[in-house]
Chains A and B, each alone.
Chain A
Amino acid sequence: MAKSAKSKRAKKADFTKPKLKLGRPKPKPENYTDVSFSAQRIAVLHQNLSSSAPSQTALFTHHLALLSHKSDAQRAASLAHLTTALSSLGGELPLPGAQVLTKVAPLLLDANGSVRNNTLKFLALLSDAVSAGGISTLLLYIRAALTHLSARVRFSGVDALSWLLRTDKRATRTAAVSSSGGFAGLLEGILGLLGWLVSKPGNSKGWSSSTASGGKAEDEGKGRATQLTALALLLDAGLVDGERESRAQRRKWEMGVRWPLVDWRAHKIGGAGTYDYLNLYGDVGGASDEACPEVADRMRVYARHGGAVRAGLETAKREGGGIGRAAVAVEKVLAGVYLDDDRE
């Protein structure tokens, strides 16, 4: 027999029929706190406590990953961060250049203007890091930007191209013009922008449009001048630069022994890109994708468009101002090329 009131109550509880209520339970008040549980200890999920801030490299990698974030603002901010980080590091990349380039290059085609601008700023710091490995990727994106449907993206493409060809390193320039689709693709792209592209032969029935109808707002003023400057750079890198080098070499050889090494250059097996034309890696073939490792190849490519370029330059020169000056610059470059031609 239980004695205390408490035990009596407990005993009684067994026999009381629970009062059953019909309907939904009353909604709990908003500030209701569930205190029905009791625990001896609380296990908190993993907490990362480190005494030091993340390293520069880690941050760099993190922001690099954020470059494919879906928000424009985030992408732009990350790029800005990367730019400052890189400048604080003194232009030395904490990661391999090719890896960085594959992440950054797609942003040349980004829909957002500020992202593209930031990309260009970042690329400007990268000049040294651009190696032959990453250049083919970069070239693809630049070409895509040059033929892009949006005019602003095309502008950025021209800027990127100028940046690439203005670099101090000759190796980079040579790689740019000699890799697959390099010279031909870029030339066609920029001529297309200028409206100087000759239609491909074989389908000349019907009307021929005199100039490409890309002639919109972008073609006026500074844009056109920039394009002409980029063209000058491209022609210089593709046709003159290499020639200059070879002329220097030739002179060196002329001073030394010539015989029996006559025409050794013609018999030489080239560098890395010798067998590119075999398309062993399943490149999509096409006229603009051909690799032009030698100056002669590039000359051949240029010859296809030579007439249109000369005609275009004539009109551009007449416009005067920035465009005229840029056109003259192009002509100067071409004059160098022709001089070489005449000499041979």
Chain B
Amino acid sequence: MGKRKVGALEKLEADLPALQNKIRRDPMSYKSDFERQYEQYRTIYTIFLQNGSTDDNNLMSLREYIDFVAHVAECYPELTASFPEDLISLLDKHHAILEPELREKIVGALVLLRNKDVIDSIRLLNALFPILIKSPSQSLRELVYNKMLMDLRSANTKTKNHRLNKNMQNTLYNLITSDKASPKGVFAVKFTRELWKRQIWTDAKAVEIMKEAALAENEKVIGGGVRFFLGGDKEREELDDESSDDENVDLNAMRHQMGINKKTKKRGKDLKKATATVKRKEKKKNQHNPLNFSAFHLLHDPQGFAETLFSRHLQNPKTKLKDEQKLDVLRLITRLVGLHQLTLINLYSWFQKYLTAKQKDVTTYLACLAQASHNLVPPELLQPLVRKIADEFVSEASRAEVCSAGLNGIREVCTRQPLAMEDTLLQDLVQYRKSKDKGVMMAAKGLLSLYRDVGAELLHKRDRGKKAAMDARAGAQSLPRFGEVNAEEGIAGIELLEEWKEEERRKKREETGVDSEDEEAEAKRIEEEEAEGWKNWDVEDDESDDSGGWIDVPSDGEDLHVSDSDDDKPKKKAKLATESPAPPADVGTPASTTSTEKPRVSKLATTRILTPADLTKLKELQQKAAIEDAMPNKHKSHHSAASTRQPVNGARHADEEITAEAIEGLAMLSHKDTKEEKIAKAKGDREEKHVSSTALRKEKKRAAGKSSTNKEKARQKNFFMTLGKAKKKGKRSLTDVKKAMQGHVERKKRGGKRGNAGN
């Protein structure tokens, strides 16, 4: 029934919003009016409880009264003490049968009461959560979910409301753990994922909820939990980037505009706002937030988690998961294994079954295997797998894509555990670098270069390459033994810093022209520098932040220039360089003199306290070196000594996942297009040839699975078919006619061709 039209006069009399407005302005004066209306509300509420129908013929329905009282409840807290309780009980008991509008109004009123601080968040969430779980109505669930989320977000805007968060997390945790098989856990997953994404929940308890979700028995809940671990952090980062992007303000431009245009209050306000935004952003940028760990690092007992996941979802023959979901679980397990270097013996034998070329999504399996291997996995476990991959994938007979995928897979496994390879197999595989196919060739070369670095002795002598051969002659053992751990010595990149400092000092000396033989003066200067480094480290920090996006990398020409600098410089400088005094003992010798020797331990860190300015510079230098290393045709500058110290696969962060794309690698190079694909490529996205609109319509109709009209069928009927029928019609024999007639009678009796005798 539609809403009854209210006449103008009636409207004037029965105007709750007007009263509401008056009450808001002066609550004490309108108290008696409110009392009367509250009484009215209570009566209507009672009536509603008795007959359960909302009468639309009334001027005011319960809905409007709820709205009214909710809006002014904060003015009369004693009078309306029982109001929230009324609403909560009404919703709790009757949410399934209430009419949708009223239901939504009640939820809205509760949220309003929360926003006006009449009830607290915990009470609101505790009231709404059961509705979310129980309600059969999707629209109500959606509404309640959104409202709850909004409330959680707003409660955490200024500071984190730990009490509320803990309460909510406990509720969600209990929801999942109380009934593992029920699909209700999905709500817990949804909440946690959303709040994690928005960095409202960043603690271990949230991760614990998701862990329980991943170990649940309902497929949806499992899927949600697993996908959270695989993608939750990335989602969070993306959202963070987005939110920082959207308020990009060009402050200078705005100031400029202010100078040109007429100054108005609004523009001034805008500028102020923009300044505040920029300041806030700066602050946020500088703010070091060490507590933002990824979900994997917050996980308690990853070993147990991985084991349970494996036994429950992958090994269990009764598992109800679909293949894709299983694959997700596998990705999660292997990431856990790789990241935390877990030992999960059964996992590797489990892989055996899936490593065949015919297996669906085999590249993902290969990526997972690579992820699951780390240098603490016993080589005996990996060796059969590597051999299996080689047997199944890598052969002359197999397709080029398969072959290159196999080789890439093997390389990824061996990058993490070089001991997984046997020498004969490796020597075979390396032969593929002569393959005609580019993808296979590249993959094989990758494997070769990997082993030149980590285990040249497994290769044929002629394959080892110059450097490895020289190392071998020097008797250096390159293949590490199982379980061997190379402890990092000193601080990574410290010699870069040392070098830089030396350089700076020399420049300064040249500028001032002071003879540096005076050691005392030198020492004094160093002291001064240091003091400066401590004093305005904040400023330096800011400066480095400003240039954060850009790290200057010397171009090749410049690099050359530096290396030849000794010749170009004026004589005095050259003299300085040649007779450069023995640097202070505590600084150590310049790196250039010792570049050929094995990296020595810098004494800088042991003799000096690094200032914050030093540390930021160190970071910058490290980044610079990394980028230089990654450049394809870098000159072997004096940084090379440092670069060799980096791990072979250092480019990839340990937290990152190996994807199937990495395994497929350059397989696309070896893919041969079919004729259709070639034609399609040649055509590009040019327009199709012109077709009449009728034809297009017909085509569309046919595509939709609709048949043509009878008319059209008649038109398209073969002429000879019509001829035969026409001929036959005239000369049916009497028996034929009888048969036909009898058939007709029969059909009529039966009630049609199909007959309805049965029903």
Contacts and interface: CB of A to CB of B under 8 A. Distances in A.
Interface stretch (B36-44, B218-226, B638-646, B738-746): B36-44
B31 interface: yes
B577 interface: no
B711 interface: yes
A140 B31 contact: no
Interface string A192-215: 100101011011001111011110
Interface stretch (A149-157, A238-246, A311-319, A326-334): A149-157
A102 interface: yes
A197 B56 CA distance: 30
B10 A284 contact: no
A9 to B, nearest CB: 13
Contact of B28 (A140, A141, A195, A206): A206
Contacts of A102: 51
Contacts of A11: 726, 730
A199 B47 contact: no
Interface stretch (A14-22, A84-92, A249-257): A14-22
Contacts of A15: 722, 726
Contact of B32 (A137, A151, A202, A214): A214
A223 to B, nearest CB: 14
Interface string A206-243: 11110111100000000000000000000000000000
A75 interface: yes
Contacts of B722: 14-15
Interface stretch (B78-86, B191-199, B560-568): B78-86
Contacts of B42: 284, 286, 288-289
B492 interface: no
B39 A137 contact: no
Interface in B624-682: none
Interface string B21-40: 00000011111110111011
A197 B50 contact: no
Contacts of B86: 284
Given A11-B730, A149-B59, A150-B59, A192 B79 contact: no
B47 A144 contact: yes
Interface string B1-28: 1101010001001111001000000011
A203 B76 CA distance: 8
A151 B59 CA distance: 12
Contact of A70 (B1, B16, B715): B1
Interface stretch (A58-66, A103-111, A162-170): A103-111
Nearest to A137: B50
Given A149-B59, A209-B29, A284 B36 contact: no
B698 to A, nearest CB: 14
B277 to A, nearest CB: 42
B395 interface: no
B79 A200 contact: yes
Interface in B29-73: 29-33, 35-37, 39-40, 42-47, 49-51, 55-60
B40 to A, nearest CB: 4
Nearest to A181: B46
Given A102-B51, A203-B78, A111 B57 contact: yes
Contacts of B50: 137, 140
A150 B36 contact: no
B485 interface: no
B714 interface: yes
A98 to B, nearest CB: 12
Contacts, number: 132
B32 A192 contact: yes
Contacts of A203: 31, 76, 78-79
A150 B9 CA distance: 10
Contacts of A209: 28-29, 31-32
Among A70, A102, A148, A213, find the residue whose CB has the most chain B CB atoms closer than 10 A: A148
A206 to B, nearest CB: 4
B59 A192 contact: no
Contacts of A213: 29-30, 32-33
A75 B725 CA distance: 70
- A interface majority secondary structure: loop
A149 B14 contact: yes
Nearest to B22: A213
A284 B33 contact: no
Contacts of B76: 203
A340 interface: no
Q: How large is the interface on A (under 10, 10 to 19, 20 to 34, 35 or more residues)?
A: 35 or more
Contacts of B13: 149-152
A212 B58 contact: no
A11 B731 CA distance: 12
B35 A200 contact: yes
Contacts of A173: none
Nearest to B64: A149
A143 interface: yes
B59 A140 contact: no
B721 to A, nearest CB: 12
Contact of A147 (B28, B30, B39): B39
Contacts of A153: 59
Residue in B10, B15, B49, B715 with the greatest tally of chain A CB atoms within 10 Å:
B10
B338 to A, nearest CB: 59
B49 A284 contact: yes
B27 to A, nearest CB: 8
Contacts of B56: 70
Contacts of B6: 111
Given A75-B57, A144-B44, A147-B40, A199 B730 contact: no
A2 interface: yes
A324 interface: no
Contact of B730 (A2, A148, A149, A192): A2
Contact of B16 (A149, A200, A214): A149
A288 B42 CA distance: 10
Interface string B698-717: 00000000000001001100
B43 A140 contact: yes
Contact of A284 (B4, B19, B46, B715): B46
B59 A147 contact: no
Contact of A192 (B28, B35, B60, B82): B35
Contacts of A68: 55, 57
Given A70-B1, A192-B39, A288-B39, A110 B58 contact: yes
A290 interface: no
A286 B730 CA distance: 95
A189 interface: yes
Given A149-B13, A284-B46, A20 B711 contact: yes
Interface string A1-26: 01000000001001100101000000
Nearest to A211: B32
A199 to B, nearest CB: 6
A159 interface: no
A189 B714 CA distance: 82
A200 B36 CA distance: 12
Given A106-B47, A197-B35, A200-B78, 18 more contacts: A14-B725, A20-B715, A106-B55, A109-B59, A111-B58, A140-B47, A144-B47, A147-B36, A147-B43, A149-B40, A188-B39, A192-B32, A199-B32, A212-B32, A212-B33, A283-B46, A284-B82, A284-B86
12 contacts: A70-B2, A70-B56, A106-B47, A109-B59, A147-B37, A147-B43, A148-B40, A200-B35, A212-B32, A212-B36, A284-B46, A284-B82
Interface of A: 2, 11, 14-15, 18, 20, 68, 70, 75, 102, 106-107, 109-111, 137, 140-141, 143-144, 147-153, 181, 185, 188-189, 192, 195, 197, 199-200, 202-203, 206-209, 211-214, 282-286, 288-289
Interface of B: 1-2, 4, 6, 10, 13-16, 19, 27-33, 35-37, 39-40, 42-47, 49-51, 55-60, 76, 78-79, 82, 86, 711, 714-715, 722, 725-726, 729-730
Closest 10 CB pairs of A and B: A212-B32, A206-B28, A147-B40, A14-B726, A144-B43, A147-B39, A111-B59, A150-B13, A149-B14, A150-B14
